[in-house]
C-alpha cells in the first residue's frame, strides 16, 4: 500500500510555497464598469484635469469680485456686468466669482446683489478635483465603486488589473456534473464549483475543466493542458493513497511533487507540486478538507500573486464541547457562534470531512494549533468569523431536541433579521446547555413519570433558574415503517433507535415499560441515530423495519406512520433572555399565523398551544 512518505507542517508548507514559485501574475484590461473588486496592475494617471476650466460651484451670476465690494442686505449693490450661470457652467473669461442666486434680484438690464464675494468664491477652479498627470490610484489598489466613478470622470474607460488564471480539474470516476441525478455510489462534482466561486470572489479568473475519470493517461493529459493554460492549477482529488489516486504520480511525471501530505485536518492528503515553474495543488476529495486547503493554503498562495486576502474578523468565544486533536496537526473546526448575554459562545460543528452541512450551518471556525492536544469545554477560544460581525450578532443558538419544524421556524425568523443555528443533541443535551448558558433556547420534549412534559426535569436540573417555556406544538410521535408496523409489533422487526438523552428515546423506554416489552427483545435497539430523519431514512433504505419518529419525518419520505401519542415540544429559555430583542422577535415568530400554517403544512402537529409562553412555576 502507498503511504505518505513524509508529512510536513502547515507552516512548512506555506514556507515551501513561498520559496518555490515566482508568483508573477498576469494582467488583463477590463472596462471600467467591470472593474469593481479588481486589483490595479499599474498606477492609474488622470488623463485631464477636472475641472479643465473654471466652473460655477453654485446657481447664480458670474461677476468680477471687485464689483461686489461692500454689498450687503442693508446696502445692495447694482451689477451691470454679470452672466447668469447654473452649477457646473463654465465661468466666462474675465469673471472671477459667483454670487449665489439667493442673494440676487434680477432686474431690467442687470442684477442687484445683497452680498459681496471674494475672488474665486463659489468657483470650482481648474484641477480642483484632480490635475492632469496626477496619480489617481497606485498599483495593487482594490477598486471600489467610488473609485470607478472617479476614474470614469478622469477619462479612464478601461483599467489594467491583475489576472491570476486558476485552472480547476475535477477528477474521479464517481463524479457526475451538477444538474445530473447521481446513481448510487456516485456523487455530484461540487468541489471545483465551490472553489471557483470562492477564488473568483477574491479576483482570480477561474476556469473549470470537464470531469476526468480515474485513468492515469487522461488525468495526465488534463493536467498538462491545465498547467499550460493557467498561473495556478488545482487538481481536485486523487490525492489520497487509495488504489486509484493518480494525481501525485501525474504531477511527478510532468514536474515535481514538492510535498504530499501536510499536518492539517481536515486536508492532510494535499499535494503541493510544480510543473513548468507553476504551482499545482492536489486538493483532497472530502468537501470540507478541500475547503480547508483552499482557505489555509490556496488563498494565501493567491495573496502572493497580489490578490487581497479576505479579512479575518475574530471574536473570543467560550467553547461548549471539548475538542481533542493530534500533536503535530493543525486542526480546523467549524463553529456556530452566537452572543449570549455579553459573551460569545462557540458550538463546534460535526468534524466529519464529508459533512458539507457543517459548512452551511457554521458562521465561524477555529484552529487548534499543532502544538496542542486540544481544547477543553469552557475554554475561551479565538473564533474567526465566516460572516460579517453584524451577521454573527444575529445568530441565536438553539441547542437540544431536533424537529423539522425548527428549520421552518428558522426560515420565518430570517425575515425578522435573526439567524437560528440549531444543534441536535437531544432534549437532555439542550437542558444541560441551557444550564451552562451555552444556548439561547433549548427545544425539548421530556416526559416525566407523572405524564407532564419538560417542567419536571427543568426543575430538577436547574432548580434555581427562572425559566420560561415557549410551546412550539403538541406533536405526534409514532412508529415509522414501510408497511404500517404498530408499537406492539416492534419486537418482531428490525428496529432503529435514537440516542440516549433524546426525548424520543425516553418516550420509547417509557412506552416499552408501560407495555411490558423488554428492550432486549428488540433487534436493533442498540443502533442509535441522532435525528428523526435519520431514523426514517434507515427505514426507507431497508436497513431497519421500524423506528420511532415524528410524523413530518415519516411523511417527508413517504413512509407509513402509526401514532403513539402527542407530546409537548417546547423551547426552554431563561426568562431574562426575553429582554433580548432577538428572542422577543423569535417569540413573536413562533406565535405568528405564518408559523402555525407552516406546522399544519408539515403535518403531525397540533397548534392550539403554539406560541403559548408559560413560566416554570405556573
Query: Considering only residues 138-167, where is the footprint of a second copy by CB under 8 A?
Result: 138-142, 144-155, 157
Is there binding between residue 48 and a second copy (CB under 8 A)?
yes
Residue whose CB is less far from a second copy, 342 or 558: 558
C-alpha to C-alpha distance for 187 and 197, rounded to whole angstroms: 19
C-alpha to C-alpha distance for 3 and 504, rounded to whole angstroms: 44
C-alpha to C-alpha distance for 76 and 59, rounded to whole angstroms: 19
By CB under 8 A, the residues from 107 to 126 that bind a second copy are 119-120, 124-126
Residue whose CB is less far from a second copy, 203 or 255: 203
Residue whose CB is less far from a second copy, 556 or 613: 556
Per CB under 8 A, the segment of 45-53, 160-168, 479-487, 565-573 that binds a second copy is 45-53
Residue whose CB is less far from a second copy, 174 or 609: 174
Sign for the CA dihedral angle at 315, 316, 321, 324 comes to: positive
Chosen residue from 20, 28, 59, 64 binding a second copy by CB under 8 A: 59
Q: How remote is the C-alpha of 233 from its chain's centroid? A: 25
The set of cell numbers assigned to 334 is 467549524
CB 6 to a second copy: min, Å: 16
Chosen residue from 29, 43, 601, 608 binding a second copy by CB under 8 A: 43
Strands (E), 405-466: 419-424, 442-444
Residue whose CB is less far from a second copy, 102 or 466: 102
Is there binding between residue 171 and a second copy (CB under 8 A)?
no
Residue whose CB is less far from a second copy, 186 or 218: 186
By CB under 8 A, the residues from 317 to 356 that bind a second copy are 352, 354-356
42: left (phi over 0), alpha (psi -120 to 50) or beta: beta
Q: Any idea how long the chain is?
A: 618
Residue whose CB is less far from a second copy, 396 or 468: 396
Binding mask 89-108 for a second copy (x = CB under 8 A): xx----------xx------
Is there binding between residue 563 and a second copy (CB under 8 A)?
no
The set of cell numbers assigned to 370 is 499543532
Residue whose CB is less far from a second copy, 152 or 448: 152
Dihedral angle, C-alpha 348, 349, 354, 359, nearest 10 °: -110
The SS3 of residue 508 is: helix
| Exposure on the CB side of residue 129, measured as CA atoms within 13 A | 17
Is there binding between residue 597 and a second copy (CB under 8 A)?
no
Residue whose CB is less far from a second copy, 459 or 527: 527
In contact, 404 and 537? CB cutoff 8 Å: no
Q: What is the 3-state secondary structure (H, E, C) of 66-95?
A: HHHCCCCCCCCEEECCCEEECCCCECCCCC
Chosen residue from 70, 94, 179, 210 binding a second copy by CB under 8 A: 179
Chosen residue from 7, 41, 50, 222 binding a second copy by CB under 8 A: 50
CB 549 to a second copy: min, Å: 11
The set of cell numbers assigned to 537 is 431514512
Chosen residue from 169, 196, 319, 583 binding a second copy by CB under 8 A: 196
Residue whose CB is less far from a second copy, 318 or 339: 339
Q: What is the DSSP string of 417-469?
A: T-EEEEEE-HHHHHHHHHHTT-SSBEEE--B-TTS-BSHHHHHHHSTT--EEE
By CB under 8 A, the residues from 443 to 502 that bind a second copy are none
C-alpha to C-alpha distance for 359 and 286, rounded to whole angstroms: 12
Number of residues that bind a second copy (CB under 8 A): 126
By CB under 8 A, the residues from 228 to 247 that bind a second copy are 240-244
Angle at 567 between CA 561 and CA 569, to 5 degrees: 110
Residue 117: count other Cβ atoms within 10 Å of its Cβ.
24
CB 280 to a second copy: min, Å: 21
**Pairing relationship of beta strands 158-170 and 232-236 according to DSSP bridges:** parallel
CB 523 to a second copy: min, Å: 13
C-alpha to C-alpha distance for 514 and 64, rounded to whole angstroms: 103
CB 585 to a second copy: min, Å: 14
Compute CA distances 110 → 84, 88, 102, 113, whole Å: 10, 22, 15, 10
The set of cell numbers assigned to 58 is 453654485
Q: What is the DSSP string of 244-288?
A: T--HHHHHHHHSEEEEE-EEEES-TT-EEEEETTEEEEEE-SSHH
Is there binding between residue 128 and a second copy (CB under 8 A)?
yes
CB 119 to a second copy: min, Å: 7
CB 611 to a second copy: min, Å: 19
Residue whose CB is less far from a second copy, 292 or 454: 292
CB 534 to a second copy: min, Å: 5
By CB under 8 A, the residues from 401 to 420 that bind a second copy are 404, 407-408, 410-411, 413-415
By CB under 8 A, the residues from 276 to 315 that bind a second copy are 285, 287, 291, 308-313
Compute CA distances 435 → 189, 420, 457, 500, 615, whole Å: 43, 19, 12, 19, 16
Is there binding between residue 195 and a second copy (CB under 8 A)?
yes
Residue whose CB is less far from a second copy, 8 or 559: 559
In contact, 76 and 111? CB cutoff 8 Å: no
Residue 608: count other Cβ atoms within 10 Å of its Cβ.
10
Residue whose CB is less far from a second copy, 55 or 442: 55
Residue whose CB is less far from a second copy, 314 or 614: 314
Chosen residue from 10, 98, 137, 340 binding a second copy by CB under 8 A: 137
Residue whose CB is less far from a second copy, 46 or 226: 46
Residue whose CB is less far from a second copy, 336 or 454: 336
Is there binding between residue 49 and a second copy (CB under 8 A)?
yes
Is there binding between residue 24 and a second copy (CB under 8 A)?
no
Is there binding between residue 560 and a second copy (CB under 8 A)?
no
Phi then psi dihedrals of residue 475, to 5 deg: -115, 150
Binding mask 521-540 for a second copy (x = CB under 8 A): ------x---x-xx-xxx--
CB 66 to a second copy: min, Å: 13
Q: Spell out the residues 6+ positions from residue 78 whose beta carbon is closer than 8 angstroms to its own.
A: 107, 110, 111, 112
Chosen residue from 94, 184, 342, 451 binding a second copy by CB under 8 A: 184
Peptide bond into 46 cis (omega under 30): no
In contact, 496 and 527? CB cutoff 8 Å: yes
The set of cell numbers assigned to 160 is 489594467
By CB under 8 A, the residues from 358 to 397 that bind a second copy are 359-360, 386-391
Residue 539: count other Cβ atoms within 10 Å of its Cβ.
28
Amino acid at each position: 500500500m502507498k503511504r505518505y512518505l513524509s508529512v510536513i507542517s502547515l507552516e512548512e508548507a506555506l514556507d515551501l510555497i513561498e520559496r518555490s514559485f515566482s508568483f508573477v501574475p498576469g494582467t488583463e484590461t477590463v472596462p471600467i464598469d467591470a472593474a469593481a473588486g479588481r486589483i490595479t496592475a499599474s498606477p492609474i494617471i488622470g488623463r485631464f484635469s477636472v475641472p479643465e476650466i473654471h466652473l460655477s460651484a453654485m446657481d447664480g451670476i458670474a461677476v468680477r469680485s471687485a464689483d461686489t465690494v461692500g454689498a450687503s442686505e442693508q446696502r445692495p449693490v447694482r451689477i451691470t456686468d454679470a452672466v447668469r450661470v447654473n452649477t457646473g457652467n463654465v465661468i466666462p473669461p474675465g469673471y472671477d466669482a459667483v454670487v449665489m442666486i439667493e442673494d440676487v434680484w434680477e432686474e431690467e438690464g442687470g442684477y442687484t446683489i445683497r452680498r459681496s464675494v471674494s475672488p474665486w468664491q463659489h468657483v470650482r477652479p481648474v484641477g480642483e478635483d484632480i490635475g492632469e498627470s496626477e496619480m489617481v490610484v497606485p498599483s495593487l489598489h482594490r477598486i471600489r465603486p467610488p473609485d470607478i466613478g472617479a476614474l470614469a470622470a478622469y477619462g479612464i474607460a478601461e483599467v489594467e488589473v491583475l489576472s491570476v488564471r486558476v485552472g480547476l480539474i475535477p477528477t474521479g470516476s464517481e463524479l457526475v456534473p451538477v444538474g445530473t441525478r447521481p446513481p448510487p455510489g456516485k456523487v455530484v462534482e461540487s468541489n471545483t464549483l465551490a472553489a471557483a466561486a470562492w477564488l473568483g470572489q477574491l479576483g482570480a479568473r477561474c476556469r473549470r475543466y470537464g470531469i476526468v475519470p480515474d485513468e492515469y493517461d487522461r488525468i495526465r493529459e488534463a493536467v498538462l493542458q491545465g498547467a499550460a493554460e493557467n498561473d495556478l492549477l488545482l487538481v481536485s482529488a486523487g490525492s489520497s493513497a487509495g488504489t486509484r489516486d493518480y494525481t501525485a504520480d501525474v504531477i511527478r511525471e510532468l514536474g515535481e511533487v514538492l510535498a504530499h501530505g501536510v499536518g492539517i485536518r481536515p486536508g492532510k492528503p494535499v499535494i503541493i507540486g510544480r510543473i513548468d515553474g507553476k504551482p499545482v495543488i492536489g486538493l483532497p476529495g472530502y468537501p470540507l478538507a478541500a475547503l480547508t486547503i483552499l482557505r489555509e493554503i490556496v488563498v494565501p498562495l493567491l495573496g502572493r500573486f497580489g490578490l487581497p486576502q479576505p479579512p479575518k474578523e475574530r471574536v473570543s468565544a467560550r467553547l461548549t464541547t471539548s475538542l481533542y486533536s493530534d500533536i503535530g496537526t493543525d486542526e480546523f473546526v467549524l463553529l456556530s457562534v452566537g452572543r449570549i448575554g455579553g459573551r460569545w459562545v462557540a458550538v463546534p460543528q460535526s468534524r466529519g470531512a464529508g459533512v458539507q452541512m457543517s459548512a452551511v450551518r457554521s458562521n465561524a471556525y477555529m484552529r487548534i494549533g499543532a502544538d496542542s492536544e486540544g481544547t477543553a469545554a469552557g475554554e475561551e477560544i479565538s473564533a474567526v468569523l465566516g460572516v460579517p460581525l453584524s451577521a454573527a450578532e444575529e445568530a441565536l443558538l438553539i441547542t437540544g431536541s431536533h424537529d423539522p419544524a425548527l428549520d421552518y421556524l428558522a426560515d420565518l425568523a430570517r425575515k425578522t433579521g435573526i439567524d437560528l443555528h440549531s444543534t441536535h443533541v437531544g432534549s437532555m443535551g439542550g437542558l444541560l446547555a441551557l444550564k451552562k448558558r451555552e444556548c439561547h433556547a433549548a427545544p425539548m420534549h421530556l416526559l416525566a413519570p407523572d405524564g407532564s412534559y419538560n417542567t419536571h426535569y427543568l426543575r430538577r436540573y436547574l432548580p434555581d433558574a427562572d425559566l420560561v417555556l415557549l410551546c412550539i406544538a403538541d406533536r405526534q410521535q409514532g412508529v415509522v415503517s414501510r408497511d404500517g408496523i404498530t408499537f406492539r409489533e416492534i419486537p418482531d422487526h428490525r428496529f432503529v433507535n435514537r440516542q440516549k438523552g433524546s426525548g424520543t428515546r425516553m418516550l420509547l423506554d417509557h412506552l416499552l415499560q408501560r407495555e411490558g416489552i423488554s428492550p432486549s427483545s428488540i433487534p436493533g435497539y442498540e443502533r442509535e441515530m441522532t435525528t428523526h430523519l435519520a431514523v426514517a431514512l434507515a427505514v426507507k433504505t431497508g436497513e431497519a423495519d421500524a423506528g420511532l419518529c415524528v410524523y413530518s419525518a415519516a411523511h417527508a419520505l413517504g413512509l407509513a406512520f402509526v401514532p403513539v401519542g402527542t407530546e409537548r415540544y417546547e423551547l426552554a429559555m431563561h426568562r431574562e433572555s426575553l429582554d433580548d430583542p432577538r428572542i422577543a422577535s423569535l417569540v413573536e415568530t413562533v406565535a405568528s399565523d405564518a408559523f402555525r400554517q407552516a406546522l399544519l403544512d408539515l403535518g403531525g402537529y397540533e397548534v392550539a398551544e403554539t406560541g403559548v409562553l408559560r413560566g416554570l412555576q405556573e
